[in-house]
Structure 1
Amino acid sequence: MSDVKLFKIEHDQVRELPGEALQVERSLQLLFEANLESLLGIRFLASEHNTGSVHGGRIDTLGLDEDDCPVIIEFKRAVNENVINQGLFYLDWLLDHRKEFQWLVMEKLGPEIAKDVDWSAPRLICIAGDFTRYDQHAVKQIARNIELIRYRRFDTGLLMLELVHAPKQGRSSGPASVAPPTTPAVAIANEATEDPYISSRIDYKLARADPDLRDLFEAVRQYLIGLGDDVQVKELKFYIAFKRLKNFTCAEIYPQARVVTLYLRLDPASVEIEEGFSRDVAKIGHFGTGNLELSLKNMDDFAKAQPLLRRAYEGS
């Protein structure tokens, strides 16, 4: 059982709020689906998606995350339900039915988003009132992008989410990293066949960077990972995302400009903008998520950025 407890402070006295984690009902699934972006940073696509007569199943929830990666969400409705194996079965189905998924994205979110679906790190999220120790052990043995989220409901109208397990490294290996097929209706980018570095563009840029810039990037990476045990690293085509339940920082490196660029999930209005160091990019297109841009050219810039990085982490 979860050891997380919630208390209310009243006149210097504390009172524990009793939490419930009953089996997941359809109403709770609908609550999640109606608020996926607020809760998990995921855009809702479909509920109870039929996988067809051959597979004979229904995926609880399909979505697209803030990095344009496909997401399967499965809700564990009973303690003895093997939701992880079931989710892995659906994850394999998804990788075999990419065209169908992209059609769904095109219908729900439009063709521009559909052509940018990133298959490098598809995710499986399992949500339950609790997980057994066998569940938590099993996901550590499986080299797939699986997250376990425990929830608690409180009679005061509060909903608590606890990230029980998440892979530290989010880049996929194996079938998930194969480039998606093209379709006549959705103009899928063909860069993967033209650029040998498309699946590891950050590594390619790092290889071209001078030693000082590589050291700066590595210092930033280690600092972000060290902010907490719940930090996940998700390597994508154009940037690396550092996340908890949602991204809190996205990092890019530009060898020619000799700069490490970070995008933080912070309100630019809450920060004193400094020319050449910080910028409000809420209305400026860019890769990654976050409305505050930081440009780091040396270790002094990195030291100045650290309080902002911690704020972004704590607020995510």
Structure 2
Amino acid sequence: MSGLKLFHTMNGNVAEVAPRLAEVEADVQHLIEAHMETMLGVRFVASEYGTGPVHGGRIDSLGLDENDAPVVVEYKRGTDAGVINQGLFYLAWLMDHRAEFGHLVRARLGAAAASRVRWSAPRLICVAGDFTRYDEHAVREHRHCIDLVRYRFYGQQLVGLETVASVTGQTAASGTGRRRRAAGAAHAGRAQGAMAELAAAVDETLLGLGPDITRTENRLYRAYRRLRNFACVCPPQKTKLLVYLKADPKETGLVPGFTRDVTGLGHHGTGDLEVQLRSERDLERARDLFRLSYTAA
């Protein structure tokens, strides 16, 4: 169980707000499905989707994440030893029914979204009242993208989500520095000299913000996420490196030539704040912005 304690303050007094589980599993499912993009960074596609008479099951939720990866979401009211295996069962079905999922995405999100579905890293998100240490170990033994998310209700108006474990399917979020640096070097290898070194330093800085960070790759950008993306780094250009953050541009104090509000403007990756890095000095200036975006994710 989470060690987080929440307190309500009023008139100089402090009272603890006791955490509680949902009355029924459906309460969690309905809440998250209604606000899936805000809560999980996943666009909702379908609920209680039947997998046919041969497979004989129902997927709690289907979605498409910020990086265009298909997502299976499974919910449990409390602790359930079978949630990971059940989710992987449905993930395997999804991989065998790509065209069917594509039709669902097209009907719900449009043809453009369906054309961008990225099958290289489908995700499983398990939302439950709690997980055991065996669950946390098990996800790190699978070569799949899996997030374990603990929920809690507080009073009648607050709900908390906490990422317990997250793996990318290749290396765990807590992977060794050697593996992280090797991947960073591969990304930076598209550039030469100073920009390659700067890209590797940005990778190390973003991964160093916390133990719950996972990194996903595609040809247009690299995404760093907790449960949702908090930073996207584009391949290095000749003289600069572009990083997009989930920080509010209106609250950061824009600096010409360093930060730019790209709200509503087309760009690769996610986030409304563009940070332009040209040197190690710029990276030092950007550290507080990186942490601000990480904290908000």
TM-score by length of 1: 0.85
Q: Which residue of the other structure, out of 217, 221, 228, is the alignment partner of 1:239?
A: 221
Q: Which residue of the other structure, out of 267, 290, 304, is the alignment partner of 2:248?
A: 267
1:132–1:126: structure 2 CA closer, same or farther, 3 Å change rule?
A: same
Residue pair 2:146, 2:166 contacting (<8 A) in 1 also: yes
| Cα distance in 1, alignment partners of residues 57 and 185 from structure 2 | 39
Q: Which residue of the other structure, out of 191, 196, 210, is the alignment partner of 2:192?
A: 210
Give the % identical residues.
46
Residue pair 2:75, 2:126 contacting (<8 A) in 1 also: yes
Q: Counterpart of 1:250? A: 232
**Deviation per CA, 1:37-58, whole angstroms, max 9, x where unpaired?**
1111111110010111121111
Q: Counterpart of 2:164? A: 164
1:204–1:227: structure 2 CA closer, same or farther, 3 Å change rule?
A: closer
Secondary structure in structure 2 of the residue aligned to 1:32: helix
Q: Counterpart of 1:178? A: none
**Deviation per CA, 1:259-278, whole angstroms, max 9, x where unpaired?**
21100111222233223222
Give the letter aligned to residue 244 of structure 2.
Y
Residue pair 1:120, 1:171 contacting (<8 A) in 2 also: no
1:237–1:208: structure 2 CA closer, same or farther, 3 Å change rule?
A: closer
| Cα distance in 1, alignment partners of residues 224 and 140 from structure 2 | 20
**Deviation per CA, 1:152-190, whole angstroms, max 9, x where unpaired?**
1122411011110111x4669xxxxxxxxxxxxxxxxxx
**Deviation at residue 139 of structure 1 after TM alignment:** 1.2
1:312–1:170: structure 2 CA closer, same or farther, 3 Å change rule?
A: farther
**Deviation at residue 74 of structure 1 after TM alignment:** 0.4
Give the letter aligned to residue 105 of structure 1.
V
Residue pair 2:48, 2:59 contacting (<8 A) in 1 also: yes
TM-score by length of 2: 0.90
Matched residues, number: 286
Give the letter aligned to residue 117 of structure 2.
V
Q: Counterpart of 1:143? A: 143
| Cα distance in 2, alignment partners of residues 78 and 290 from structure 1 | 33
Residue pair 2:144, 2:170 contacting (<8 A) in 1 also: no
**Deviation at residue 11 of structure 1 after TM alignment:** 4.6
Structure 2 regions of 5+ residues with no counterpart? Answer: 172-183
1:30–1:22: structure 2 CA closer, same or farther, 3 Å change rule?
A: closer
Q: Counterpart of 2:293? A: 312
Any residues of structure 2 matched to 1:44-63 within 5 Å, and which?
44-63=44-63
| Cα distance in 1, alignment partners of residues 108 and 294 from structure 2 | 31
**Deviation per CA, 1:209-230, whole angstroms, max 9, x where unpaired?**
1132121111111111111112
**Deviation at residue 237 of structure 1 after TM alignment:** 2.7
Q: Counterpart of 1:27? A: 27
